[in-house]
Amino acid sequence: MTDTTHEGGRRRRWIFLIVGVATALALVMSVLGYITTHSGPVDLNGNRVQAEDVPTAAASASAVADSGGQFVVKSVGLDVPLGALNAVGGTVEPTGFTSAYWIRNEGVSTKDPAKGTVFVVMHSLRNGGVGPGNYLIDVKDQKSKVGLGTTIQVDGVTYKVTGAQAVKKTDLSRSATIWADTPNRLVVITCLQRPQGGPSVDNMVIQAVRT
């Protein structure tokens, strides 16, 4: 899947591949579902999930599931390791289902929030699977579970939610507002699963500002 966006005269090409049975949080992606198996990665409940698309060697080499920090949203009971990854060849491929990941080469480091926007992505799962993103989405009502003013901690830095919106995956990468590199800003992206099941067609985008 491909999409393009322009920012500051620079053309960026994004390709978000499906990683496993879940949502590889990204600008554009599909969800294949949750498949129980006897081997492979696990979700937050310790259930095995079948990875149908194996991340490339370059993507796997760039990603770490734990960079030493935590991603915490106390209001919904979410507290997971904060991993990190790079967009490799225009592709973002989270490699695990139990961590949140900040994108190293988009926006700024979690250590430098005053210099720009921190972008964090994570998996959500369907068909019984539970990834970090499942804590943030209300599938039945198709909205975010985190309201205005909700506190999010990223690597020890505290942010407060200013808004959340569902965005079509085909539109997300073209949004200059979402991808603006604004100081002291956080953007969290996960797939919004559908009540009837099947591949996700929207992303949930949560925006927050540093307190």
- Residues 52-86 have pLDDT tens digits of 556 667 767 778 899 999 999 999 999 999 999 98
> By the 8 A CB rule, do 2 and 13 touch?
yes
- Domain range for 63 is 3-210
A 10 A CB-CB count for 101 gives: 28
CATH number at residue 108: 2.40.260.10
Which pLDDT score, from 0 to 100, does residue 22 have?
32
Report which of 199, 205, 167, 143 is spatially closest to residue 22, judged by C-alpha positions: 199
Condensed to tens digits (0 to 9), the pLDDT of residues 14-36 reads 433 333 233 333 333 333 344 44
- Mapped onto helix, strand or coil, the DSSP state of residue 75 is helix
Structural domain count, the chain: 1
Which residue has better confidence, 43 or 57?
43
| Residue burial 34-50, b: 16+ Cβ < 10 Å; e: rest | bbeeeeebebbeebbbb
Which pLDDT score, from 0 to 100, does residue 33 have?
44
The length of the chain is 211
A 10 A CB-CB count for 193 gives: 26
pTM above 0.85, yes or no: no
Q: What Rg, from alpha-carbon coordinates, does the chain have?
A: 15
* HSE toward the beta carbon, residue 204, CA cutoff 13 A: 27
> By the 8 A CB rule, do 209 and 184 touch?
yes
48 strand-pairing partners:
42
Condensed to tens digits (0 to 9), the pLDDT of residues 96-129 reads 899 999 999 999 999 999 999 999 999 898 888 8
> By the 8 A CB rule, do 122 and 101 touch?
yes
Q: What is the spatial distance between Cα 94 and Cα 32, in angstroms, rounded to a whole number? A: 15
